[in-house]
Chains A and B, each alone.
Chain A
Amino acid sequence: MCRVCRVCVAALLLLAMRASCSLDIKLHDDEDEDEDAMFQTPGGDVRVRVSGRALVPGVRAQDWIASARVLLDGDKHVGFLRDDGSFTVSDVPSGSYVLEISSPTYRFQPVRVDITTTGKMRARVVNYIKTSEVIRLPYPLQMRCIGLHSYFIPRETWGWSDFLMNPMVLMMVLPLLIILLLPKVFNPSDPEMRREMEQSMNMLNSNQELPDVSELMTKFFSSPKSHGKAGGGARGHRGGAPSARGGASRRKMKD
């Protein structure tokens, strides 16, 4: 018992170590960042303005700009929106920043903005995993609203369709329907049909060890024989027929 535990812990540790190692690899694998180097020296005297335009289609700018802000790397640098949706973030030193528009209602895709020490600028898609990957975006920035924030999850509501599509219900109802309807569709008194059915039954019941689902069902749902006799005599003739037959055929096979 104890050895098992130890082995397990060892395995676990190994797993954890592997996880952390591979994590290290994952977090630091893209080494080609020579062109990144030019953005890395912070400071310098260059101070530029980042400008662009944010658009929420179908909504007047006045209705949303008052509650929105343009944020560069959190609130390191902040810009505000004009009533035509355009914005500038002034006085930004060189470096690489993630620009996002924070609005409590509308959602925007963030953009990475790189500013070189000479003041050149480019915009690209934010990729936190492969940080050196460059997919250029137009500059001045075009920020397009990609929908509303979906803060809420819908309540589970009770509906008939949900109830009926429930697997449990399906399992109960479908066989019931089959039992009730099948005898009406096929005419069991037709001798040809009867022979065919018998054949198919034999084919199906070739493996006797497995319990037969349909038989189980019929056992469950058809009323006990004593009851059946005492109850409606008329019903017993039609509804009871296939089950009696099935039972008979099985007895035959056993013999």
Chain B
Amino acid sequence: MAWLVVRLAISVSLLYTASAVFEDQVGKFDWRQQFIGKVRFALFDTHSQASKKLLVATDKNVFASLNSRTGDLFWRHVDKTGPEGHIDALLMYGQDAVVVVGNGRLLRSWETTVGGLKWETVLDTGSFQAAALVGVQDLVKYVAVLKKSAISLHDLSSGSQIWVENLPDSDSVQYQTIYSGGNGLLFVLGVVPNSHIVIVEYKIEDGEIMNKKSVEAAWMSSLESSCAVISSGILLCVDQITQSLYTLSLQSAEQTEMRQIHLQTLDLEVASGFRPVLTSTQPNPAQPPLSEFFLQLSPDHHILLQFKDGLIAPLRDFSPSYLAAFATSGERTVAAVMSPKNDTACSINLFSADTGRRHLDTTVIYHMDPNGGKPNRLYVHAFLKKDDSVGYRVMVQTEDLTLTFLQQPGRVVWMREEALADVVTMEMVDLPFTGTQAELEGEFGKKAAIQDGLLPMVLKRLSSQFILLQAWLAHLWKLFYDARQPRSSVKNEVTIDILSRDEFNLQKMMLMVTASGKLFGIDSKSGTILWKQYLENIQPNSVFKLIVQRTTAHFPHPPQCTLLIKHKDTGLGSLYVFNPIFGKKSQISVPALPRPVLQTLLLPVIDQDYAKVLLLIDDQYKVTAFPSTKNVLQQLQDTASSIFFYLVDSSQGKLSGFRLRKDLSTELIWEVVIPTEVQKIVAVKGKRANEHVHSQGRVMGDRSVLYKYLNPNLLAVITESTDTHQERSFVGIFLIDGVTGRIVHEAVQRKARGPVHFVHSENWVVYVYWNSKFRRNEFSVLELFEGAELYNSTVFSSLDRPHAPQVLQQSYIFPAPINTLEATLTEKGITSRHLLVGLPSGNILSLPKMFLDPRRPELVSEQSREENLIPYAPEMPIREEWFINYNQTVSSVRGIYTAPSGLESTCLVVAYGLDIYQTRVFPSKQFDVLKDDYDYILISSVLFGLFFATMISKRLAEVKLLNRAWR
């Protein structure tokens, strides 16, 4: 019964806090973009001519089918993250695609039209080497998987294992490739580096070893990178040291050593330091490969060669050429070669593979993005046209992970920015004012205006009003003009030139930094990419930090953002300064950072150009200021004694606080050591700098006030125990004052382990951990209060707070796993807060903070009811109405970014992971604007009705009065 009462109370309270989506709001202010990641394998469905399928497997453990005409996803399957979901190989035959997953752990077959699984088999352990389709008598029936020490053959239609054999001498021989030419035999090729090649011949029916031979090859270190099988079982290898090609017939028993062909005899030479690459093609797995192959001799030199009667003859030399690829349609195999045309464009041409002759009218021009990277992969889809000539489409992947799909004669059919599948950090920047808006703002801002006197100010006012009127008329005219045009011809293109801040500042510029080193500027309203910039020479495991130094508020100074790029291992960093609206690199000179950067600090101090000062602390605790003009240094000297910062050394479990000295050196103020033998520091978080707290305290049931402990210098430190045994593991939280080093509070959650997600805001910390005893996620909330009196209500100083805050804590069960956690943020902090929880299912849950209130009472009392406290219930509710992204799920969500808008009720939310989803949330409903279902018709009809009623009744009254006067 009591339970029922609690439930009832919850449901009643929900009526007031619900922030759900209405069905008619779908797509109104939210959008989602789906990505796949860096393509590792791509196969075009050549099964039928009209097929639009393009199967891709990517480094994000995604296996997907794209529509090759539009670039949209047909379906997409996201496997578990990490190496266990890694896709090792993708093979396709007919309607089926076979995928090897998790270092050869799983073999899956997919039905490609629907996207359903056909079968799945678990393979034996052992690191994966190669996989191939095996055909017998023109029919592809099997798939063979080569592991480090075993080979297995599986039936293609059911996945059942036909046979598995251990490889001979697998501890000394590195088996690397398999080959089958459709003649009932399966060859496994292995190498003993710098000694010899081993070739084992298996019978396909039962796995019996038919033959085994070893061939001297002292020059060879790896088969995989330097060899290929061509033309009815000829192993072809290339070696750059001896500058030779080697051939070996796999089947013949007589040939016991490799035949050497000097490249010189072909008038060829490998560029020094370049590892030559052989590319062959086997259009049908049941038939031997073609005898033509590509040899790449330098980064921009390919040559098409042919093997005939034991001789190798060059067919065509492509110099210069960046990329080359084979493609087959029906019986005809073609080769596409990309060669540079000029500085900004490449041309792709088609050649017939067997003769090397160029196909006429097959040139496709590929324009390179000046802000992008070089093309590095070419995927060709060849098809037969009606007149039996070969047509083709190409997909080009570049270093910055742009996929471009081109059609003859160079039309870009679609483009995907796959770098966005791995967003590392992001910011939202206000859009600039238009000229007229800036004019109007400037009128009040300028100091000169006050000295002008009355009359000039009036004139100025009038003139700016006139400009506004003009702008409005122009807008009206445009509306009218657009309305007359047929709908299709009106382009809704968004460009940066027409973008300006809207009335409520709801439309912003999203700056996204991706792991590949590509920066994006995206319009938050439509999701259009407005600019992109690829930063070359970014180490693959760099960490990024994006800092907004100057917002758009300081017209005519352009806004300025700084990206700190730091190498993960060495810690050496560099700064990249750019304009966030246009994406252009700024000309400002950047300080050199010769030493590893430990910490950055954005000060509220501004220089004469209104840029906030960024301090960078290196490993010798020296401080570099950026910008470092005289003005800034002077200001820093004045305020140095009140600038503090902290450093975290998680390897030694040390937190230390420093103070800035006048000469930009630092002194150690405090140090907290958390012994690493017991626990390690996992994360440290302060509060967000742009956060506002509107109310200083909470009014309680008896009309007294409980004041919040609002320490802006408070750090939340999360630790995890080094002992991972589930009985002894724990999660700890320390609240430490960043200026004095005083530990304000500490709490320990026993029998708990990470990953811990937490939010630190206002006077509370919310964290989630895994309760290993009960195997469930639990939320815990810490709230800090000063008490009924405020010690110093005017200003907060960490150095002068004698009383320790009162800490309240409560924990709740959360009935779902969690990927990420963030809190909503509004401009003035009046709106109630919600927590945004990213779930593994891809939904974003908006959980009212009201549920995470440590003052939720066990027993309902008059006072608690007065305060609107929800009675305590151990389990947190999850309601589907709270999913702010309804069915637009965000796959493997990694982060949520929140930003305030110009409306107090509205918070902008961006969730990123594999997908990007942007929306707005209204934690306390839209209390400051009219609802979008506001009934204008009703209200105006009532108004008009009343108006007419008064008119009529007035007339009637007149008539009546007149009548009475006559009586």
Binding site for B on A (CB under 8 A): 2, 4-6, 8-9, 12-13, 15-16, 18-20, 22-23, 26-28, 33, 40, 47, 49, 61-62, 65-67, 69, 71, 73-78, 80-83, 87-88, 90-91, 96, 98, 100, 102, 104-105, 107, 126, 128-129, 131, 149-156, 158
Contacts and interface: CB of A to CB of B under 8 A. Distances in A.
B122 A19 contact: no
Interface in B776-794: 776, 778, 787-789
A2 B815 CA distance: 43
Given A62-B114, A76-B80, A90-B120, A16 B855 contact: yes
A104 B817 CA distance: 17
Given A75-B81, A80-B77, A128-B815, A149 B887 contact: yes
A158 B872 contact: no
Contacts of A156: 933
Contact of B776 (A9, A104, A131): A131
B497 interface: no
A6 B116 CA distance: 66
Contacts of B808: 13, 16, 20
A74 B775 CA distance: 12
Given A62-B114, A78-B80, A104 B22 contact: no
A51 to B, nearest CB: 10
Contacts of A90: 106, 120, 122
Contacts of A88: 120
Nearest to A18: B858
B115 interface: yes
Most chain A CB within 10 A, of B858, B872, B875, B886, is at: B858
B887 A151 contact: yes
A91 B774 contact: no
B116 A26 contact: no
Interface string B167-201: 00000000000000000000000000000000000
B763 interface: no
Nearest to A102: B841
Those 9 A-B pairs whose CB atoms lie nearest each other, nearest first:
A74-B817, A66-B115, A83-B116, A151-B886, A5-B788, A102-B841, A66-B75, A104-B887, A74-B840
A60 B840 CA distance: 25
B874 A83 contact: no
B503 interface: no
B105 A66 contact: no
Given A13-B808, A19-B810, A23-B811, 8 more contacts: A8-B700, A16-B855, A26-B874, A74-B817, A74-B819, A105-B887, A128-B815, A153-B22
A67 B75 contact: yes
A107 B878 CA distance: 13
Contacts of A107: 880
Nearest to B61: A78
Contacts of B74: 66
Contacts of B21: 151-153
Most chain B CB within 10 A, of A75, A129, A150, is at: A75
A155 B24 contact: yes
A4 B842 CA distance: 49
Contacts of B775: 96, 131
Nearest to B892: A75
Nearest to A90: B122
A90 B108 CA distance: 11
B842 A102 contact: yes
12 contacts: A8-B788, A23-B810, A27-B778, A49-B122, A66-B74, A69-B77, A71-B841, A91-B105, A104-B888, A126-B815, A150-B880, A153-B18
B435 to A, nearest CB: 40
Contacts of B887: 104-105, 149, 151
B741 interface: no
Contacts of A62: 114, 116
Nearest to B108: A80
Contact of A19 (B23, B842, B872, B889): B872
Contacts of A9: 706, 787-788, 806
B80 A83 contact: no
A74 B891 CA distance: 12
Nearest to A77: B80
B117 A150 contact: no
Contacts of A83: 111, 114, 116-118
Nearest to B18: A153
B387 interface: no
Interface of B: 18, 20-24, 74-75, 77-81, 84-85, 102, 105-106, 108, 111, 114-120, 122, 700, 702, 704, 706, 726, 771, 773-776, 778, 787-789, 806, 808-811, 813, 815, 817-819, 840-842, 854-858, 872, 874-875, 880-881, 883, 886-889, 892, 933, 935, 938
B880 A65 contact: no
Contacts of A19: 810, 854-858, 872
Contacts of B935: 158
B34 to A, nearest CB: 11
Nearest to A73: B817
Contacts of A67: 75
Contacts of B875: 128-129
A19 B704 CA distance: 21
Contact of A82 (B20, B117, B889): B117
B881 A129 contact: no
A33 B789 CA distance: 47
A88 to B, nearest CB: 6
A153 B20 contact: yes
B700 A61 contact: no
A174 B111 CA distance: 68
A33 to B, nearest CB: 8
Given A74-B819, A102-B840, A82 B118 contact: yes
B111 A12 contact: no
A23 B874 contact: yes
Nearest to A26: B874
B807 to A, nearest CB: 9
Given A66-B75, A102-B841, A152-B20, A13 B806 contact: yes
Contact of B704 (A5, A22, A26, A69): A5
Nearest to B783: A16
Nearest to A95: B775
A70 to B, nearest CB: 10
Contacts of A75: 80-81, 840, 892
B117 A80 contact: yes
A67 B80 CA distance: 15
Nearest to B887: A104
A90 to B, nearest CB: 5
B54 to A, nearest CB: 16
Contact of B116 (A5, A27, A66): A66
B881 A150 contact: yes
B813 A16 contact: no
A206 B426 CA distance: 76
Contacts of A33: 773
A152 B22 contact: yes
A158 B117 CA distance: 48
A5 B23 CA distance: 47
A5 B21 CA distance: 42
A183 to B, nearest CB: 26
Contacts of A105: 887
Contacts of B840: 71, 74-75, 102
B729 to A, nearest CB: 12
Contacts of A71: 840-841
A213 B343 CA distance: 92
B326 to A, nearest CB: 31
Contact of A20 (B787, B818, B854): B854
B881 A153 contact: yes
Contacts of B105: 91
A78 B811 contact: no
Contact of B813 (A2, A15, A27, A91): A27
Contacts of B778: 27
Contacts of B773: 28, 33
Contacts of A69: 77-78
Contact of A129 (B79, B874, B880): B874
